[in-house]
Structure 1
Amino acid sequence: MRTLRSMKIAAIALTMIVTAGVSACSQSSGTEEEASWAGADPSEASGTVTFWSWGDSPDIVNAAVASFNEVYPDIEVSAKVVSYKDYVSALGAALASGEGPDTFNLEPAMAQQFTDFAEDLVPLYEAQVGAEWRSSVSTVAVDELTVDDRLVAAPNSLSVAGTLQLNVGLLDELGLEFPTGSVAPDELAQFCETVRQAGKACVSIGAKDGWVSQDVFQAIASSVAPGAFAAAVEGGDWTAPGLESSLDIWQSFFTDGVFQDGALGVSQYPDAWNAWLRGEAVATPVGSWGATDFITATNLNNQSGAGVSDPAPLQTVLVPFPAVGGDPTTLAASVGSGTAINVDSENKAAAAAWVNWYSTDPAGYQKLGADTLVGPASVTGVEATPGDVAYPELVEDSLALLAATAAQEAEPRAIPYPELVTALAAALQSSATGESSSTVLETLQAASDGITRG
């Protein structure tokens, strides 16, 4: 086992990708003695724990660490937030060098990639939550973070996508109302032309990033051909007529001015999102995490970070992407992230205490995340009580929409196959540059056919 794992470390050092399907050689806890950290009393743990994540603003991370230390004062958490676009390569390099963090966040595709570096967390749940722990955790979240019957990471908050974040105040200034519900693509393009004539961009998107392109394409497809996207992910037909029509619409958004000029050359964070925060665009494709901007302090901090001087709270809502295919847009939901424990951590008892508070305890980060509107909790018993919402009545419908989506069996947002994530991102880039939809989807189908699915 050690030899095989060492070979995989070398592979990550070269490619920053650990391929799925080889986790049988993982050095996870296989005996009661090895898993003793899982059943240790968290209150007796001490020392330092390193933790890596992406996306969270510093104030949210600092609040999480401070809240944790109120319960576990003898554990010091050294937290590092890495930009999403650099996260996989940075984490891969750190783990390959043997200098990886004690705990680190993963999304479903990352769980496939880094399974050999993560402990199986089922023993932690059994020890800290109980034998019936599965009844208190989102089934979708557990399934998405399980690789070869090993729970690679403990689910955190859920992530809902397929929405646009609107700057309602800016739209009011322009005397415009963003079209929602059933909207033909040419009608949306006409509206966006009106916005452009007023000197603003319509939808500010960082189409350089595959994840946000996937979110938008999946939303389009849900209206054009309900269920076709999810079926294709699991080995179905990417060349189906409905998906080809969806890709035609995606391509038209670049040529018809729905997306801002130069969209392919910028990232969603910070580029496209900051442009939206500065009032340069009326909309941006953001999911449930965009609700953090409903909270006054977070909104003001984000605007300041985007270069807005003397900011005032934005009037903003989240709405489903326009139903450009006729059927209602279906939002997609998946676990936003899960927290893993490094198999090589030298302080697993303290790491387990952090993961227990961060992921399994309804009174821990799951509660903090719900209250700060990072995302709906993945465990039962958490009621969000956000404070200092700038415009409570304005955002009521947005919060209800997110809660309803998280509570139902929504179409999965996450694609659990890293190779397919890469292939889809390349396909959407090719489409945006003008390549025919049929050619793009044939190439994507070939890549999909070569993927081994469990």
Structure 2
Amino acid sequence: MHMNRRHFTAGALAVLALLASACTGTGSSSEGADAEAPGDPANVSGTITVLTHRTDLVQDGTMKKYAAEFNRTYPKVKVEFDGLTDYEGEVKIRMNTEDYGDVLMIPAVVQKKDYPRFFASLGSQDELSQKYRFTGYSTVDGKVYGQSPIGVVPGMVYNKRVWKQAGITDWPTTPAEFLADLKTVKAKTDAVPYYTNFKDMWPLTQWTNVNGSVGCDTGATSRLAEGDPWAEGADLRVGDTLLHDIVSAGLIEKDPTTTNWEGSKPKLAKGEIATMWLGSWAVIQMRQAAEQAGTDPDDIGFMPFPAQRDGTFCAVTSPDYQQAVNVHSEHKAAARAWIDWFTDKSGYAAANLALSPLKDAPLPGLLKPYQEAGVKLIDLDDSKGAEVKAIDNASEVGIYQPDYRQDLVDLARGAADGDLEGFFGRLSEKWNEARKTAGS
């Protein structure tokens, strides 16, 4: 299971038309509805259904424990959970009716501009952004429609013991230094220096999260809408070049076409793999793998992308799924109570070693090394996020899809013809062409 899911598929686009046609009749009556924060918890009542992608937590009873804890504050609200394995596919179908739970994670298929048709407002961005990170990702016309219970930060998940064995104690600060370090790992240890997770595909999409981290730029998303992501020095070009160079230098597994995500976790835990570019959400999974393998969970480390701006590392923060209230819910106060409690009081972020959306919350222990190294966490401005997705889809480049990076890896390992310059040139051309049409 992977938690960071900022991807959407071409299949998702086909249903947009479906959603649009199905909902014009019913949606208009409740559009603009608010789910206000309730005053006295003792007066909030009703049975609410919470749709979730965390089937693991529904099955192992964790969600039930959260509900019991919630009931100590809201005794008259009954919370029921519906855990969905194919969350996106299932919810998409339900959203053709009014019956899609009381609380749900906003599926990627719903366009931002349509949030007011499907979800009740949680209040103004001016107010909520004082307290929470990520409000911009679900803001339409100044109102917020979703709240993520956790945030993620991209980084290199690595085996500290292996890196130490190679004699490396400091985090690399440039891509060139990182490459040199991987070469040292190859020379001095038995570990695979870098593991691509090529076959599972989705881990390759994580490389898009270098955007903003390299240039330490809160406006990185807007830059994608306004310019060429593969221009000289642009963040994506820096990240993609590093991936290419790692592969062409032979610092990866023998055969990328046979990688295995589940299998990679114990390998990293045992030190058979040294490094993977993923996100903070992956660390807990690697530490659990270490416990199962009987190795030390503290061997699992996390370092920022090897680039600094003015001597400082930066890492972008981004939300996981955003929880929202169904605009048709008959128990909006109870649904809103659940979202607020789950975000503020449940301890869900801490349990997942994740970044809390509360701006004044302490950083999770996992990010203590970031804190000590003075890594600057930056929240991206998402006001052009929808535009970037439109350009991406029209260009068929797929910065949130794995395909072009699979092509990049194939190019780098000699399984495809061409050179890097030409490869970036084609991406730029497609993107700039789409920007003229889709972005306008």
Q: Could you tell me the TM-score, scaled by structure 1's length?
A: 0.70
Whole-Å separation in 1 of the counterparts to 2:167 and 2:106: 40
Pick from 277, 287, 290: which aligns with 1:285? Answer: 277
Say if 1:98 and 1:227 are closer, same or farther in 2 by CA, change over 3 A.
Answer: closer
Q: Which moved more, 1:67-76 or 1:56-65?
A: 56-65
Q: Which residue of 2 aligns with 1:15?
A: 14
Pick from 406, 418, 427: which aligns with 2:404? Answer: 427
1:313 aligns with 2:297: yes
Say if 1:369 and 1:338 are closer, same or farther in 2 by CA, change over 3 A.
Answer: same
Q: Which residue of 2 aligns with 1:79?
A: 81
Residue type of the alignment partner of 1:151? V
Whole-Å separation in 2 of the counterparts to 1:121 and 1:137: 16
Say if 1:168 and 1:380 are closer, same or farther in 2 by CA, change over 3 A.
Answer: closer
Residue type of the alignment partner of 1:352? R
Q: Offset of 1:441 from its aligned partner?
A: 2.6
Aligned counterparts, 1:51-450, within 5 A: 51-54=51-54, 61=63, 63-80=65-82, 86-96=86-96, 100-106=100-106, 112=112, 115=115, 118-122=118-122, 125=123, 133-134=127-128, 136-138=130-132, 141-161=134-154, 163-172=155-164, 174-177=165-168, 180-185=171-176, 188-196=178-186, 198-207=189-198, 212-219=203-210, 223=214, 230-243=221-234, 244=237, 246-263=239-256, 270=262, 272-273=264-265, 275-290=267-282, 292=284, 299-300=287-288, 302-303=289-290, 308-310=292-294, 312-323=296-307, 329-359=313-343, 362=344, 364-365=345-346, 368-372=347-351, 374-383=353-362, 396-400=368-372, 405-406=376-377, 408=378, 415-416=385-386, 417-420=388-391, 423-424=398-399, 425=401, 426-434=403-411, 436-450=423-437
Whole-Å separation in 1 of the counterparts to 2:158 and 2:309: 21
Partners of 2:16 and 2:109 within 8 A in 1 = no
Residue type of the alignment partner of 1:134? L
Residue type of the alignment partner of 1:276? L
Whole-Å separation in 2 of the counterparts to 1:262 and 1:56: 31
Partners of 2:136 and 2:383 within 8 A in 1 = no
Coordinate RMSD, CA, aligned: 4.6
Partners of 1:51 and 1:79 within 8 A in 2 = yes
Say if 1:217 and 1:95 are closer, same or farther in 2 by CA, change over 3 A.
Answer: closer
Q: Secondary structure at the match of 1:192?
A: helix
Whole-Å separation in 1 of the counterparts to 2:212 and 2:119: 37
Q: Secondary structure at the match of 1:233?
A: helix
Partners of 1:165 and 1:286 within 8 A in 2 = yes
Partners of 1:111 and 1:147 within 8 A in 2 = no
Residue type of the alignment partner of 1:137? K
Whole-Å separation in 1 of the counterparts to 2:275 and 2:35: 50
Whole-Å separation in 2 of the counterparts to 1:418 and 1:101: 27
| Residue-by-residue CA offset, 1:40-84 (whole Å, 9 max, x unaligned) | 75433132422213598667645533432332344343335556x
Q: Which moved more, 1:21-30 or 1:73-82?
A: 21-30
Aligned residues: 406
| Residue-by-residue CA offset, 1:277-325 (whole Å, 9 max, x unaligned) | 45431222233334647xxxx944x546xxx344543322221122399
Partners of 2:158 and 2:274 within 8 A in 1 = yes
Q: Secondary structure at the match of 2:314?
A: coil
Whole-Å separation in 1 of the counterparts to 2:113 and 2:260: 23
Whole-Å separation in 1 of the counterparts to 2:169 and 2:48: 49
Whole-Å separation in 1 of the counterparts to 2:64 and 2:196: 29
Whole-Å separation in 1 of the counterparts to 2:30 and 2:92: 21
Gaps of 5+ in 2: 1-9, 412-417
Say if 1:450 and 1:40 are closer, same or farther in 2 by CA, change over 3 A.
Answer: farther
Q: Offset of 1:439 from its aligned partner?
A: 1.4
Q: Could you tell me the TM-score, scaled by structure 2's length?
A: 0.72
Partners of 2:23 and 2:96 within 8 A in 1 = no
Whole-Å separation in 1 of the counterparts to 2:217 and 2:315: 11
Q: Secondary structure at the match of 1:375?
A: coil
Taking only the aligned residue pairs, the percentage that are identical comes to 16
Partners of 2:34 and 2:120 within 8 A in 1 = no
| Residue-by-residue CA offset, 1:82-119 (whole Å, 9 max, x unaligned) | 56xx5433321332366533222238886628726632
Partners of 1:164 and 1:283 within 8 A in 2 = yes
